[in-house]
Structure 1
Amino acid sequence: MEHLVVAGDVPRDEARVVLAACAGTSTSDVWEVPTWPPHGVRQGVGEPGWSQLDWAVRLNPGYVTLTVGANDVGVVDLSVLAGGELDRAELDRRLQAVAGGVGFLLDELVDRTDARIALTNYYNPTAVNPTGLPGCRGACFVELGEIVHDSLNRTLAQAAARHGSRVQFVDIAPLFAGHEAGDALGPGWLREPIETFLGVQVRAYCSEDDPSESWVSSFDCIHPTGDGMAAIAEAVAAALTAPRS
């Protein structure tokens, strides 16, 4: 990033954050889908159609954070749990695709930038007593949710381990123990048509009860609240500022 400041392409007072997270994307979108130029970049820098990866390589930031893979394996649309049963073969196929995609991203960032990279895993938002899916509620859904999240997190940890100290693996999963999803906002008759239209079933993670101390949004039962975001940010910052081994 410093070379762009010196060249006048990015004002020094705007050279702190170069990319923001984009929810709802698959791993391959990071290098396949065009994105807007990052805030603060002068007009004329870059090319139309550049992806997030293209910009990361061009800007060569000091730090890059990645959280990818959940949409690829079906954590949001729950397609690997159709009918309340786990399609293990399909999950394995998707995990293999995640391993390849994340491996490619990390290879590119390590080889083509000087950035220190933080790859996070995922917390399991599943409530202690979740709504679940037809044919798999309560303890059944807890078990399947754990299998999916644990499998994804192992895949991500293995991808990070290949790159030594350049890639810090940030295990955020334990932070959310005791802070799982609470009760979903809104009545079922209102939420169900919305979820059908969007093709998601995230309310399955939410609680049948109304527990306190949740760090998971009651709107979608997946994303973190402000407290959850603060805990994740603290863990990522600690990983990126820790001495390299």
Structure 2
Amino acid sequence: MRPTRFGRLALRLVLALLLAVPTLVVAQIATAGPGAATVLRIAEPPVQTVQVGRALIFEPPVTGGNPSVTWDRLPEGARVAGPGGLLLWRPSAGQVGRHRLRYVVDTGRHRVSMTVTVDVHHPYRPYDLVAMGDSVASGHGLQRGDYLGLDSCWRAAQASYPGRVFAALVAGWESDPDGPVARDEVTPLFHQVACSGAVTSELRTEPVGGGAGEFAALGPMSQVEWAARINPGLITLTVGANDLRFDRPGDFFDRGRFLPQVARDRIDSMTADLEELLDELVRSTDSTIVITTLHNPTSGRPQGIRGCRGECFVAATEEVVSMFSDAVHRVARPYWGRVLVVDFSEVLAGHGAPNGRGPDFLRAGGGFISRHLPIPTRGVHPFCRRGHGDEDTWVNAADCVHPNGEGHRAMAATVLAVLDSSGAATG
């Protein structure tokens, strides 16, 4: 029986509603078949990912009926098999990136145009780690040469928390005699591309060096480009403190009165950049991404700000760190399964900043310099301890902000615990 004019109008209305609502089935068409009507269902295709040199086999999600499927402007090397539009493609290195491919489902009476998104990635390196971010990720202040200006990014590859995470993972892989690392079938590489002073947006725009092994010869590129080019098993990401200007806590006060809205506005601005950053990392890599929250270096008895010292300043910094943590969790939530959040807000608790008296190596062991040539911090480093004490610090005394070696060990242990509990695939 041929559908009535009203029936055809109703069918078009249903089709329009289905196309307007983001459901799995975007089109449902009644077609006349031998002896009975059949229903053709056209589903929204999920994003496809494929690595260079690997085969992509994509069958348009169409069920019911016997429609034909045709493709428009296929990428070089792709071909179609059969009337159902089965797409076969083995992309080359020059085709890395996002491709939107259009196909048309044709029943003879109805034509529905669909688009499938294909992300082509570089070959996956499951035993590599890429460290991205700012000074905390780079290991600012852990090497004496940093203070001589020998590295503008202040990198301490092995001593930084990402370097320690990598070393622990490699030790685990090497302990498995049947694993590819122990059998020397693969060589894990650590790529330190984080750079001190970086703000979130610069991870997508500012070129830096940092590739290891076969990647060392590649020219400078942005941190995101390094991650995409290497496509490691694990990416660590610590960023946002410079967007917040956390090293200038005086900005958050007016005559001793805490101004949380200043911090909130800066965090909101950082959040927009962080969303774009995570979206690009998820889209361009197959990596597990570990993003950390802000650590709190504040001493239990800090110098603070005039009009807000001691407990007042402690409470203010805790509120800022909490707002930052909430923002990171909120941004990461849509990427559940790919992005793990590691909370650093309490990692230095009980081990806050000391009374700053110069670089840690000058203070070691309580020697002559530490006793007789202290570098004053009052009014300069509000996070530093007010007065002297035996505080077991995990914060660099040169600036009272960055973690020292013990701080990085604690951060690495925190990351490893989250990786272990989550069962994240590393290697």
Fold match (TM-score > 0.5) = yes
Structure 2 letter corresponding to 1:243: G
Match of 2:245 in 1: 74
Q: What does residue 84 of structure 1 align with?
A: 256
Aligned ranges for residues 214-229 of structure 1 at < 5 Å? Answer: 214-229=393-408
User: Residue 89 and residue 104 in structure 1: after superposition, are their counterparts in 2 closer, same or farther (change >3 A)?
Assistant: same
Match of 1:60 in 2: 231
The 1:74/1:44 distance shift into structure 2, 3 A limit, reads closer
CA contact (8 A) 2:291 2:339 kept: yes
For residue 256 of structure 2, what is the amino acid of its counterpart? Answer: G
Deviations 1:180-211 (A, max 9, x none): 122211333xx68xx9xxxxx4x100111323
Structure-2-length-normalised TM-score? 0.49
- Residue 15 of structure 1, CA deviation: 4.7
Aligned counterpart for 1:148 among listed residues 304, 320, 325: 320
**Cα shift readout 1:80-109 (whole Å, capped 9, x = no counterpart):** 335433333332221111211111111111
SS in 2 for 1:18: strand
CA–CA distance in 2 between the matches of 1:20 and 1:37? 5
Q: Distance in 1 between matches of 2:394 and 2:325?
A: 19
Q: Is 2:124–2:231's contact at 8 Å kept on the other side of the alignment?
A: no
Alignment partner of 1:22 is 2:202: no
Cα 1:67–1:37 shift into 2, 3 Å: closer
- Whole-angstrom CA distance in 1 between matches of 2:206 and 2:298: 31
What is the root-mean-square deviation in Å for CA atoms of aligned residues? 2.7
Go from structure 1 to structure 2 and tell me whether the alpha carbon gap of 1:108 and 1:123 turns closer, same or farther (over 3 Å shift).
same
The residue aligned with 1:206 is 384
> How far 1:49 sits from its partner (Å)?
5.3
- 1:205 aligns to what SS in structure 2? coil
Task: State how far apart, in whole Å, the 2-side matches of 1:32 and 1:81 are.
Answer: 32
Task: Specify the SS of the correspondent of 2:402.
Answer: coil
> What are structure 1's unaligned runs of at least 5 residues?
6-11, 196-200
Contact 2:322–2:345 at 8 Å: present in 1 too? no
1:131–1:168 CA distance, 2 compared to 1 (3 A): same
DSSP-derived class of the 1:119 partner:
strand
Counterparts in 2 of 1:98-109, with a 5 A limit? 98-109=270-281
Partner of 1:8: none
Q: In structure 2, how many angstroms separate the alpha carbons of the residues matched to 1:43 and 1:151?
A: 38
Letter in 1 for 2:123: H
Task: Report the structure, 1 or 2, having the larger strand content.
Answer: 2
Using CA pairs below 8 Å that are at least 6 residues apart, which structure has the higher relative contact order? 1
Task: Give the distance between the partners of 2:326 and 2:304, measured in 1 at CA.
Answer: 24
Q: Deviations over 1:198-232 (max 9, x none)?
A: xxx4x100111323212112221111121111111
Work out whether residues 116 and 240 of structure 1, in 8 Å CA contact, stay in contact via their aligned partners in 2: no
Task: Indicate if the aligned counterparts of 1:73 and 1:80 stay in contact, CA closer than 8 A.
Answer: no
Flag structure 2 segments of 5+ consecutive residues without an equivalent. 1-120, 126-184, 358-373
Label 1:226 to 1:42 Cα distance change in 2 as closer, same or farther (>3 A): closer
How many angstroms apart in 2 are the aligned matches of 1:69 and 1:43? Answer: 27
d(CA) in 1 for partners of 2:220 and 2:351? 40
Aligned residues: 227
Question: C-alpha separation between the residues in 2 aligned to 1:220 and 1:37?
Answer: 25
Specify the alignment match of 1:34 in structure 2. 207
TM-score, normalising length from structure 1? Answer: 0.82
Which amino acid in 2 is paired with 1:3? P
Matches within 5 A, 1:173-212: 173-185=345-357, 186-188=374-376, 201=380, 203-209=381-387, 210-212=389-391
Q: Is the 8 A contact 2:267 2:327 kept in 1?
A: yes
